[in-house]
Structure 1
Amino acid sequence: MEPVRRQQLIDATIESVATHGLQKTTISTISKNAGLSSGIISHYFGAKQGLIEATVRYLLNNLKQELIYKITPTTSHVQRLMYIIETNFALVQQRSDTTKTWLSFWAQSMHDDELHRLQKVNSLRLKSNLAYSFKQLMNREDALVCAHLCAAMIDGLWLRTVLSKSDKNEFKRSEELAKSYVHSLIKQYGV
């Protein structure tokens, strides 16, 4: 029962943050959304902060699993780069509750050491995944530059699309623009 309850609380946290924002999300709003007593949050997560951190880890793990699901042993390095982009623009990353939650966590990470650490892990993971494939297509130094540029492009396009409250067509256009950018980097730096 514990995994079910924990997931209910994480889902309720995402819903509460999307509705009220991170600052106005309370143990009470979360427990009400989950239909559970507020004491269960303390039981499973220690406090609201523990639940917030678990929710961020849940979202990060979803990104990771989405990418792992797509990659096979025969996936080319160029296709792997395309999958990384697709994962960051996947439908789950476009949902209103998810986008609002990501934005709230990013903003709060500037004031919270643990959320900042998780944001840094996310950023480093994206750059590392990109660099791995770029290194197969160009020299190491250029690959690191391309990974940094591409990560900034993905984050920037996603953020601009979310902040403009765009529809799924705009997310698709942003995904295609990021893919086009990767192809231009490979053409410019590739060996």
Structure 2
Amino acid sequence: MPKVGMEPVRRKALVDAAISAIGDQGTLAVTMSDIARRAGVSPALAHHYFGSKDQLLTETMRSLLRDLRRDTVSALAEADGPRARVSAIIRVSFHAGQFAPETVAAWLAFYTEAQRSEAVRRLLALYARRLHSNLTASLSQLCPKTEASRIAEATAALIDGLYIRRALGAAPLTTERSIALAEDAVDAALARLAPPQEKGSAA
């Protein structure tokens, strides 16, 4: 029988183990036995807590989204001004935990899984809406709302693209380099919208 009070600890251990297993194999085609072994529990106990591997994988993605949302809320609360809030969102997207190789691999595997799983597709759509909404809310204080939405969409696409490059090893992207690329794109987009006299005075 499961020990009283251990369920939250073991559920968290299983989610972490799922991320590790997916990261190592680069696919969601991992076994419950492998995940349970990494978490230090029996497969039977893993099934007791989650019912099935699909339920565990769905909870793993929810966990990633909760962590991302928690970090975003915290970073936004500390940011001073709309441009700083945009930077905070970008930094959180490439935070050490989110940009760790196994986490990036897990995100990429979930994107692949979304082609066949409605549940995963809905979770990814939720992530995309939150990212776009957070970016737009801050950018709309710096430029017209239609332009803010466009810049937010482009920035979100760049973040996703940098994740894919990181996952595939297509470029030696560090966290700092990824942040700098996203920041440069936002700065360039905002600069194109600045009135001529503002551009001149900035020079």
TM over 0.5: yes
Paired residue for 2:67, among 59, 62, 68? 62
Q: Distance in 1 between matches of 2:27 and 2:79?
A: 42
Q: Work out the CA distance in 1 between the residues paired with 2:43 and 2:49.
A: 11
Which whole-Å CA distance do the structure 1 matches of 2:132 and 2:33 have between them?
37
The Cα of 1:52 is off from its aligned counterpart by 0.2
Which residue matches 1:189? 193
Residue deviations 1:124-163, cap 9 Å, x none?
1111111111111111111111111111112112322332
Which residue of 84, 87, 91 maps to 2:92? 87
Aligned to 2:179: 175
Alignment partner of 1:121 is 2:126: yes
Contact 1:78 1:133 in 2 (8 A): yes
2:141 is aligned to 136
Count of matched residue positions in the alignment of Structure 1 and Structure 2: 190
Contact between 1:13 and 1:30, CA under 8 Å: does it hold in 2?
A: yes
Q: Is 1:48 the equivalent of 2:73?
A: no
What TM-score comes out, normalization by structure 1 length? 0.91
Q: Distance in 2 between matches of 1:101 and 1:24?
A: 11
One-letter identity of the residue aligned with 2:178: S
Retained in 1: the 8 A contact 2:79–2:88?
A: no
Check the 8 A contact 1:161/1:174 in 2, yes or no: no
Q: Percent identity?
A: 33
The TM-score with structure 2 as length reference comes to 0.86
The equivalent residue for 1:18 is 23
The question of whether the paired residues in 1 share the 8 Å contact of 2:72 and 2:89 is answered with yes
Match of 1:152 in 2: 157
Once the two structures are TM-superposed, the CA of residue 164 in structure 1 deviates from its matched residue by 2.1
Structure-2 change in CA distance of 1:23 and 1:152 (3 Å) = closer
Question: In structure 1, what residue type is equivalent to 2:182?
Answer: A
Q: In structure 1, the residue corresponding to 2:142 is in which secondary structure?
A: coil
TM-superposed CA distance for 1:190, in Å, is 5.2
8 A contact 1:158–1:171 mirrored in 2 = no
From the superposition, tell whether residues 134 and 23 of structure 1 become closer, same or farther in structure 2 (CA, over 3 Å).
closer
Alignment-mate amino acid for residue 120 of structure 2 = L
Consecutive unaligned residues in structure 1, runs of 5 or more: none
| Bigger shift: residues 181-190 or 109-118 | 181-190
Counterpart secondary structure, 2:98: helix
Q: CA deviation at 1:41?
A: 2.2
Greater CA radius of gyration, 1 or 2? Answer: 2
| CA shift for structure 1 position 23 | 4.1
Aligned-residue Cα RMSD (Å) equals 1.8
Match for residue 105 of structure 1? 110
Question: What residue number does 2:3 align with?
Answer: none
Structure 2 unmatched runs, 5+: 1-5, 196-203
How far off its partner does 1:108 sit? 0.8
Counterpart contact for 2:28–2:110, Cα < 8 Å: no
